[in-house]
Structures are given as C-alpha cells and as structure tokens.
Amino acid sequence: MGSDVGLESSKRFLATWLIGGLVAGLSVVAITTAWPELNIFRKKKKKPVRVYMDGCFDMMHYGHCNALRQARALGDQLIVGVVSDAEITANKGPPVTPLHERMLMVSAVKWVDEVIPDAPYAITEEFMRKLFDEYNIDYIIHGDDPCILPDGTDAYALAKKAGRYKQIKRTEGVSSTDIVGRMLLCVRERTSCDSPSHASLQRQFSHGHKQKFDDVGSGSGTRVSHFLPTSRRIVQFSNGQAAGPNARIVYIDGAFDLFHAGHVEILRLARGLGDFLLVGIHTDQTVTANRGVHRPIMNLHERSLSVLACRYVDEVIIGAPWEISKDMITTFNISLVVHGTVAEDDDFEKDDRDPYDVPKSMGIFKVLESPLDITTSTIIKRIVSNHEAYQKRNERKGESERRYYESKSYISGD
C-alpha cells in the first residue's frame, strides 16, 4: 500500500515536471523567435576575436608567459609575432637565443595559438595593415610600458587611433635585464674573477634601491628583486585538472632553471609517452647541493611558473625530492619515469646514490634522447662569452627599467 502511494505521487511528480518542462520549452521557442539575438540555445557561429602581441622573447621567462596569458584573455585566439634576430641585433644588440629557439619557446606556451616569425621590432604601418588584413587581427596588445619609436612617436599610435589597441599590465618581478644580471653575478661568484667589467656589470644590474639577496633559508643566493609570488598567480598558470581515469602518468624531474628550448623539447617527448605529464621541480636547496652555490638562477617559484606555462605539462610538484621513492610512485600512480640524456654536469658533491634506483628496479625508468643540446650552462655561457655587447645593451635597458620603476603607479588588472 505504502508503495502504491509512493508510485502514485511519483507519477504526479513526473507529470508536473513534464508539463513544466513543456511550458518552459515553449517559452524558449517563443522568446527566441521573437528576439533571435537572445538565442542562447542555438550555437552561434561567432567569429573568434583574434588578438596580436609581439616581442623579442629573448631568454623567455614567466613574465613573458604572464603577458601572453593576459593577452589571450582579451580575445579567443592569440597570435604572437616573434622579432627576427637581425631586428633585435640592430635595435638592442645580439639576442641570446636565436629565432628558432625563441619560436619554439613561444609556441610551447599554452596560451599561444599561432606564431608569426620575423616580426618587425617596432610595429610599422605596413605591418599593422598586414595584421589586420591578412592575419585578421582584431586587436593589438601591448604592456603598459611605453614603446617609443626612434623618432619619438608612440609605436602603437595608429592602432590606438583605429580603436584596435588594448593594454595589459606589465608583470612585476622579472625582466631579462635582471636575469642576465643574476647570471653574470653567478659567474663572478663562481670564478671569483674580480675583473672590473664584471664588477661594474654587477652594479648596473642591481636596480640600486631595490635589489635584495635572498639568503634567508635557501642559502642559494638566488636574487629576488621584485617578484612577489601569490597563490593566485600559481592558480592562473595551472591547468587545474587531475589525471583522468586510466591515464598513463609520466614523471620527469629536474631543476628547470632558466627554462629554455632544450627543456621544452624534452617535455614534449615525455608528454608523448603518456596521457599526463607530471613534472617534479627540485627545491632551491636541492639544486644548490647538486650544482653548486651559484645555482639556481631562478628560484623555485619562478621555475615552477615557467614549467606550468608549457603546454606539454599537466601538473608540477613545487619542490620535488631528489630521490624518487616507491611511495611517491604509488601516490601519483606514476607509470613511467623519464630523464633526458642532455643533463647538467653535476660535478658538485654528488652522493653515490642514484636518485632513479627505485623506478629502475621497478622497470619503469626510461632515458630520453634529448632533441636539443642546450643546458642552463649553455645559456649562461652564451651570455658571458658575449658580455661586452650585453653590458652595453643592459646599460641602456637598465636605465629605462629604472625609470619605469621610479614612475610606476598602481594599475589594476592581473
């Protein structure tokens, strides 16, 4: 009996819902017929908003990545122009990373949809026309730092006049100038070569009033100038997605210091071996212990952001252990542990324990042939071998950076 009553009431309940649904459905038809522009139910074939941003992207860092993330948020598709080697050389001295490496780096950023090589250093009227007409660009995006042409005019005046310019907030905390400064400082410390040029370089790279040494805790001597990491920034860079059911999880670990094209390529290969790439980023202490007091150049949070921005990466462990334990493999359900063939020369008080002992004994360890022969040391060597040119370039850049920070005021946005 009780069940009959239950059945009866559920029938009534169902009927009410059916009628309710019918009424609601009809209203939708009525509304959308009367106001077609309100039709949220029919899939609209809306043209995607294409935004363009350009840059040199030399020694790409998470500041560049954050700019690209912000630019992408202003449209549906982000097209990035990468300035040619010749143009960079003519305007600010030779780039540290050649165009093909810079293209690789920019293409690997997860917010980038298309890349245009050989963009002009300063946007010309002709190139702007090409962007609008050939590449169907809707808006040109630039940071809030002014871009002045040699003749003193605003490089984006034309786009602004056409109402097709949008601005993003410059990322606090890091600039290539600052990173080069850290590298030269680390070389100076290591070789204790007190050549006057190195000493003067060191002075130029410190912003004078703001440079601090982060010797609290890490002891690595990683320089922190303006970077103040927040939890929100980490969230913005994250994919926020766990591995799906039955996913094959690949693990790769490392310092990922001065994130470069070699890193990108090994991550691409590693991702191809599974469905989900988990990247372990060693702590500053671990890197220092294995590579010497002058490393890392970039601190743990900076290195984490660079890796997170890479499209081949699904998740990072911010501060991964040096040795991979059985527990870790179980916790993350790691199917395969990989390591690149091109690794740093770890000649610093390395203990005899192989960090990959456990995955090796489990038969889930694989060595990946690194596609590119680039290491963090390669990048540092490039800088140092050419330091005269960089010195000149950075004197000029350092001055404009200083002016920027002196005149800087609060700008909303993220």
Ligand X SMILES: *[C@@H]1O[C@H](CO)[C@@H](O)[C@H](O)[C@H]1NC(C)=O
Residues forming the site for ligand X (CB under 6 A): 245-246, 248, 333, 335
Q: Cβ 332 to ligand X, closest distance in Å?
A: 9
CA angle 49, 51, 56 (to 5 degrees): 165
How far, in Å, CA of 281 to CA of 257, rounded?
9
Nearer to ligand X, 335 or 377 (CB): 335
Nearer to ligand X, 107 or 333 (CB): 333
Task: For the sheet with 334-340, list strands across it.
Answer: 315-320, 276-282, 249-254, 334-340, 365-368
Q: Cβ 275 to ligand X, closest distance in Å?
A: 8
Nearer to ligand X, 152 or 244 (CB): 244
Nearer to ligand X, 88 or 358 (CB): 358
Q: Cβ 242 to ligand X, closest distance in Å?
A: 10
Nearer to ligand X, 249 or 300 (CB): 249
| E strand map for 159-216 | 165-168, 212-213
**Among 154, 189, 173, CA closest to 408:** 173
Q: Cβ 241 to ligand X, closest distance in Å?
A: 14
**Among 344, 290, 59, 297, CA closest to 189:** 297
3-state secondary structure of 109: strand
How far, in Å, CA of 220 to CA of 294, rounded?
7
Rg over alpha carbons for the chain, rounded to the nearest Å, is 26
Q: Cβ 245 to ligand X, closest distance in Å?
A: 5
For residue 196, CA distances in Å to 177, 211, 381, 386, 394 come to 19, 20, 19, 16, 16
How far, in Å, CA of 215 to CA of 64, rounded?
26
Nearer to ligand X, 206 or 333 (CB): 333
Q: Cβ 333 to ligand X, closest distance in Å?
A: 4
How far, in Å, CA of 350 to CA of 355, rounded?
11
Nearer to ligand X, 305 or 328 (CB): 328
Q: Cβ 396 to ligand X, closest distance in Å?
A: 53
CB closest to ligand X, residue no: 335
